[in-house]
Amino acid sequence: MENINNPRVLKEYVDKFNINSLFQDNMMEDMKLCKFNSEEIIFLEEEHIENFYFIVEGKVRVKASLKSGKEILLRFIQPFNTLGEIELMGDCCAKNRVESVKESLLIGISIDKMRKFAFEDIKFLKYINGILSHKISTIDKTMALNLTYPLDVRLANYLITINSTNENRINELETNDLNDIAEILGSSLRHLNRVIKDMSDLGILKKQNKKLLIQDYDKLKQMSVELYF
């Protein structure tokens, strides 16, 4: 991380996203503009976080660790959004790994400052409550999808969601990741492979060597009913 010591640029981003309006008092003096390079880690899972962030430029991705020791992609986050609201309201330990996809600019306020001032700020707490409510409803929706819809629809949802949050369409996935996909979709690997075969027979997907190829994106999109993230 690199601190960008440029008050003019910082103010431009604060004004662009009207960040000060989220607080009762002016928090400008406590804000700092931070640059993260491509692939640079912002939060490391289970480590204490130092700052609460507003994403103002670029894109970050959030990953979760599995029992196998592997990681799965949960979602991409782009401006304008926040990082650290769950940790701020809890024990300040990162729940997931967060890293910059490309060069990103974030406005940070130290966790200590946030706890000292923002916790007494009803306006900011209402804003955070809205974010947390959205995240909870998203989790509930994902659970409902896993319980309600068949695996082929859930797989289509997952693939469409990954594409909808990525700048470049993902037309292939490493089949080494199928165990991870099965886990996030609440399925066994055997069942997932059967569904992939059925979708291959329909010309939607194709399993080739160690890759899962998307052959018909439009048909795949027609199968999806909701987005995961």
Q: What is the pLDDT of residue 137?
A: 67
Residue 3: pLDDT band (50, 70, 90) is: very high
Distances (CA, A) of 214 to 75, 184, 194, 195, 197: 20, 19, 16, 14, 13
Judged against a pLDDT cut of 70, whether residue 141 lies above it is answered with no
Which has more confidence, 128 or 168? 128
Mean pLDDT over the full length of the chain: 85
Q: Give the chain as a DSSP string.
A: -EEE--HHHHHHHHHHTTGGGGSSS--GGG-EEEEE-TT-EEE-TTSBP-EEEEEEES-EEEEEE-TTS-EEEEEEE-SSEEE-HHHHHTTSB-SSEEEESSSEEEEEEEHHHHHHHGGG-HHHHHHHHHHHHHHHHHHHHHHHHHHHS-HHHHHHHHHHHHHHTSSS---EEEGGGHHHHHHHTT--HHHHHHHHHHHHHTTSEEEETTEEEES-HHHHHHH--S---
pLDDT in tens, 40-73: 999 999 999 999 999 999 988 888 777 767 666 6
Task: Quote the pLDDT of residue 228.
Answer: 47
pLDDT at residue 171, as a whole number: 65
What is residue 36's predicted lDDT score, i.e. its pLDDT?
A: 98
The domains located in the chain, with CATH, are 2-144 (2.60.120.10), 149-223 (1.10.10.10)
Quick check: 177 pLDDT over 70? no
Segment 187-203, tens digit of pLDDT: 888 999 999 999 999 99
The pTM score is: 0.70
How many other C-beta atoms are found inside a 10 Å radius of the C-beta of residue 76? Answer: 17
| 181: pLDDT strictly greater than 80 | no
- Residue 229 pLDDT > 50: no
Residue-wise pLDDT for 71-91, tens only, equals: 666 777 889 999 999 899 888
